[in-house]
Chains A and B, each alone.
Chain A
């Protein structure tokens, strides 16, 4: 079945270091979304990418959507302790449009 895979599962960085999480879909996606979930909290929408090769930035966060619209990445420059949490990518299922979430990448930042 359709799958959305995300790596790595965990990433521990020193504050100030960069961080990247990668998302790969088994099928072409019409769009991809990224969510952040703080420890004990609920997922919060970050961004949606729609176009092939699209790149969007939100301050220190850079999001990319692959040319084939099957992969995506989230890069954080100079991480801060406030970046701690789990980052999920999600893509719509081919049938019905329901969102399929990746496994998430848990980011911890050591001050």
Chain B
């Protein structure tokens, strides 16, 4: 089955630093990947859609300069949380699909804690 690998699984960083999260589709090509954010006991909120070879499209209210997305290849998308603050602490999950076919395959998620 389709596998999406996300790294790191957890990260603790100091306020003001930047953190990069990688999302890889291991056995399929993903022209589109999605980045979600999930607060404890809440639903998944779509942050942005990562498009291979073009700019990401961000959901309303998500700062594109703070959450930098790069989709450099058909198997890799990265999310960089720049100048992280404690309120950015959350569970970040990427997902991908094969072409336009659902369902979504999710990575294991990254738990970010900003101190």
Contacts and interface: CB of A to CB of B under 8 A. Distances in A.
A and B are interacting partners? yes
Interface of A: 31, 33, 35, 41-45, 48, 88, 92, 96-104, 106
Contacts of A43: 44, 93, 95, 104, 106
Contacts of A44: 106
Interface of B is mostly: strand
Contacts of A88: 43-44
Given A35-B103, A43-B95, A106-B41, 11 more contacts: A33-B104, A42-B93, A42-B109, A43-B44, A48-B102, A48-B103, A98-B46, A100-B46, A101-B43, A103-B42, A104-B43
B49 interface: yes
13 contacts: A33-B104, A41-B108, A41-B109, A42-B107, A43-B93, A48-B102, A88-B43, A88-B44, A98-B46, A98-B49, A99-B104, A100-B46, A103-B42
